[in-house]
Structure 1
Amino acid sequence: MSRVLLGVLLVAIVGSGIAVAYERYRHRQLFVELTKRERERDELNIEFGRLQLEQATWAQANRIDQVARERLGMKFPEAEDIVVVRQ
């Protein structure tokens, strides 16, 4: 009976050791994946900041005025061309 118990305990110890080794390996894999994802997140945040800055630049009033004048040939109306409508 004690040999059977010793065998069971030996199998349990070996199984436990294998499980610990596998979980450490899996932990390393997940940590590497987490580090990679954090790096990607940081790069995306930097790109998002750049895009926000670019959008702010393109949306400035003087930029819109410049594009309206150059590309669309628009201009402010002369004083005599302005009509005020009142009700």
Structure 2
Amino acid sequence: MTGRLCIFLTAVLVGCALSVVSAQYRARSLFIELERAQTAARQLDVDWAQLQLDQSTLGKNARIEELARRDLGMVPLTAARTQYLTVGAK
């Protein structure tokens, strides 16, 4: 009887040991995945800050006006160049 009990306890012990090894492996895998996700989140934060900086730089009125003058050949509107249309006039 003690021989069977010893074999049973040994099998339970081996099962528990395998369960511990499996749990440690899973915990390490999850930790590595967590580290990768945190690294990706930090990179996304850096990218977001850069995009906000770019948006504020590209949206400034002075830059838009300079591009319109240089690339599109636009000039500021003056009263001498303004044409007014009236309803019913020919």
Q: Which TM-score applies when normalising by structure 1?
A: 0.84
1:54-65 alignment to 2 at 5 Å? Answer: 54-65=54-65
Aligned pair count reads 87
Q: State the 4+ residue runs in structure 1 displaced beyond 4 angstroms.
A: 83-87
Q: Which TM-score applies when normalising by structure 2?
A: 0.82
Corresponding residue for 1:9? 9
For structure 2, the 5+ residue unaligned runs are none
Q: Any idea what the Cα deviations from partners look like across 1:25-56, whole Å, max 9, x if unmatched?
A: 22112102211210111011101110111111
Alpha-carbon offset, residue 5 of structure 1: 2.7
What is the alpha-carbon root mean square deviation over aligned residues?
Answer: 1.7
For structure 1, the 5+ residue unaligned runs are none
C-alpha distance in 1, partners of 2:9/2:84?
97
Alpha-carbon offset, residue 84 of structure 1: 5.5
